[in-house]
């Protein structure tokens, strides 16, 4: 595995709210020579987010932003993005909806990963809904973020079969494993690599 120093790479911020397994996979990807990104900043709305530990492990700056007042929170985040010269934002299990104004400030430079085959199952409880509807498969999607929830242009998707024995938990686990591969692939595609 070839490691690169990160010089001249696209300065990237990853936004998380929880476990941060996609954050971890993006950080690992960022260290490969073929990766165009360097993860410079982790933003969370949740001071208890387990994924914050990757900031310590990989020595990446972390910022906890409380979302009691969304307008103030977003101003603080935009300020952090500017200070750190961030060029790309990757939402990875970030459970807050960003405002139109925020998105406008970072137009075309915010990506999100969602645990369904969009446009199916926008929002929450995607796995429960796919199983309830007796779908034969579900999957994950990486897309550009626009002002409408889970509706921006799709970059890449990966299908995952739903077996009769699958529960929302087992399906989430299978899809998450695919998410970890899909997000890096989608980034390579965005930058024509």
- Residue ranges that bind ligand GAR, judged by CB under 6 A: 16, 18-22, 51, 92-93, 113-115, 176, 179
Instruction: Please say which residue, 22 or 35, places its beta carbon nearer to ligand GAR.
Output: 22
Instruction: Please say which residue, 15 or 106, places its beta carbon nearer to ligand GAR.
Output: 15
Q: Give buried/exposed letters for 122-154 (b at 16+ CB in 10 A, else e).
A: eeeebbebbbeeebeebbbbbbbbbeeebebee
Neighbouring-strand partners of residue 110: 89
**Which residue, 146, 153, 155, is CA-closest to 184?**
155
- The one catalytic residue in 66, 114, 143, 180 is 114
Q: The tokens 């001071």 sit on which residue?
A: 47
Minimum distance between the CB of residue 105 and ligand GAR, rounded to whole angstroms?
21
Instruction: Please say which residue, 4 or 168, places its beta carbon nearer to ligand GAR.
Output: 168
> How far is C-alpha 112 from the geometric centre of its chain's CA atoms?
5
Minimum distance between the CB of residue 19 and ligand GAR, rounded to whole angstroms?
4
Residue 114 bears catalytic tag: yes
Minimum distance between the CB of residue 33 and ligand GAR, rounded to whole angstroms?
24
CA distance 148 to 69: 20
Active site residues: 114
């Amino acid at each position: 595995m070839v490691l690169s120093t990160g010089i001249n790479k696209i300065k990237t911020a990853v936004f998380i709210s929880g476990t941060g397994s996609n954050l971890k996979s993006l950080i690992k990807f960022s260290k490969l020579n073929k990766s165009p990104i360097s993860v410079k900043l982790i933003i969370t709305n949740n001071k208890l987010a387990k994924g914050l530990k990757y900031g310590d492990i990989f020595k990446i700056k972390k910022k906890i932003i409380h979302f009691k007042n969304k307008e103030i929170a977003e101003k603080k985040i935009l300020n952090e993005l500017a200070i750190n010269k961030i060029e790309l934002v990757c939402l990875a299990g970030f459970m807050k909806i960003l405002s139109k104004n925020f998105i406008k400030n970072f137009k075309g430079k915010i990506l999100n990963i969602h645990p369904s085959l969009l446009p199916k199952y926008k929002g929450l409880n995607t796995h429960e809904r796919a199983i309830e509807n007796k779908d034969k498969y579900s999957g994950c999607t990486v897309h550009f973020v626009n002002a409408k929830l889970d509706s921006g242009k799709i970059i890449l998707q990966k299908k995952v079969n739903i077996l009769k024995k699958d529960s929302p938990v087992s399906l989430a686990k299978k899809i998450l494993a695919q998410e970890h591969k899909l997000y890096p692939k989608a980034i390579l595609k965005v930058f024509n690599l």
